[in-house]
């Protein structure tokens, strides 16, 4: 049974990863409806929150139907992280998560995200400042290390548990790998098997099928799995994994009608939350993943990304439904 503080996540929870420009409330809504057990916001800059940056503040929007949900922050300054944590706590998430894993240059060059892996004492101090600034459980997401020669995540786990984190998610790559190559979970299982470690350990990286989820659950003995890119355009993956773990059988793949229904829900929530212009613009990245595998979909995708009004997009989705009616389900 995985528990973070008083949050009971069940026997083997599936977590939705915090992904920049992806894990917003509209996307989280369709993932929650399809089986995600714990979700996180997009990561939020501690400095941006303190400056009252509009985009950072908007990322604090959470809704009761999403619970349990964590707000994720990043930064390289103790005072800023503590202040940001206080601001986040007012939004009343179920937990606060610290991003020590983001590999992108704009975060790393500020001495935040995965850059902290190069300075373990600083990582401990930053974590301690966050833990002391909130009554909420604090969790951390990180990577194996900065590069192949500095995989320090085993020590990271012990040191951060000592200052009070209540769960750890590890992405099975170094910062140097970005998202290339195969994720290595061997160090994740070493952390899980360390008798000193008492907190839940979640694994992240490369889980994109129910079979792989079962294999990694059994092979690595982790407390749960965090899923990121595989959920983009395919929120059904959470329920598909759960069903496979319980029964050994596969749920039917979503039909064209189901794909259109969930895509439409995502779109309408996006417009409602962000407004018509941003909501429509930011949905454009999702159309190709929602309809991946359909023959000759390119023409429809072009129409979807060129449409500027909700009514136009809904009309194109209706055309997709008619065109592909009766097509076999897609996996």
Q: Which residues are catalytic?
A: 102
Return phi, psi of residue 215, to 5°: -60, -45
The Cα 113–Cα 76 span in angstroms is: 8
The Cα 74–Cα 113 span in angstroms is: 6
The Cα 170–Cα 44 span in angstroms is: 19
In Å, what is the CA distance from 108 to each residue of 16, 100, 141, 170? Answer: 23, 10, 15, 17
In the chain, the largest separation of any two C-alpha atoms, in whole Å, equals 59
Cα end-to-end distance, the chain, whole Å: 30
Q: Check if the beta carbon of residue 209 is closer than 8 Å to that of residue 238.
A: no
The Cα 37–Cα 167 span in angstroms is: 15
3-class SS of residue 127: helix
- Cβ neighbours around 283 below 10 Å, total: 24
């Amino acid at each position: 049974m995985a528990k973070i503080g008083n949050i009971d996540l069940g026997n083997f929870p599936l977590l939705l990863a915090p992904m920049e420009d992806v894990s917003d409330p509209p996307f989280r809504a369709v993932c929650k409806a399809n089986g995600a057990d714990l979700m996180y916001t997009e990561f939020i800059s501690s400095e941006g929150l303190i400056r009252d940056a509009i985009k950072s503040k908007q990322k604090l929007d959470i809704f009761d139907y999403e619970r349990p949900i964590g707000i994720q922050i990043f930064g390289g300054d103790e005072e800023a992280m503590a202040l940001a944590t206080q601001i986040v706590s007012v939004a009343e998430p179920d937990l606060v998560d610290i991003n020590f894993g983001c590999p992108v240059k704009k975060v790393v060059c500020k001495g935040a995200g995965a850059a902290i892996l190069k300075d373990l004492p600083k990582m401990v101090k930053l974590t301690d400042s966050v833990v002391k600034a909130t009554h909420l459980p604090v969790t951390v997401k990180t990577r194996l290390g900065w590069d192949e020669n500095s995989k320090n995540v085993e020590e990271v786990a012990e040191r951060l548990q000592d200052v009070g984190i209540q769960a750890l998610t590890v992405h099975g790559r170094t910062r140097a790998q970005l998202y290339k190559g195969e994720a290595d979970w061997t160090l994740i299982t070493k952390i899980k098997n360390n008798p000193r470690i008492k907190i839940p350990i979640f694994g992240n990286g490369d889980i994109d099928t129910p079979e792989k989820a079962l294999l990694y659950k059994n092979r690595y003995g982790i407390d749960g799995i965090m899923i990121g890119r595989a959920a983009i355009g395919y929120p059904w993956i959470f329920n598909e994994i759960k069903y496979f773990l319980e029964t050994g059988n596969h749920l039917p793949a979503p039909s064209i009608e189901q794909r259109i229904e969930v895509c439409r829900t995502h779109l309408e929530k996006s417009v409602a939350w962000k407004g018509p212009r941003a909501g429509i613009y930011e949905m454009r990245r999702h159309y190709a993943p929602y309809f991946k595998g359909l023959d000759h979909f390119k023409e429809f995708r072009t129409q979807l990304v060129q449409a500027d009004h909700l009514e136009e997009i809904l009309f194109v989705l209706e055309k997709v439904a008619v065109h592909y009616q009766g097509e076999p389900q897609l996996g």
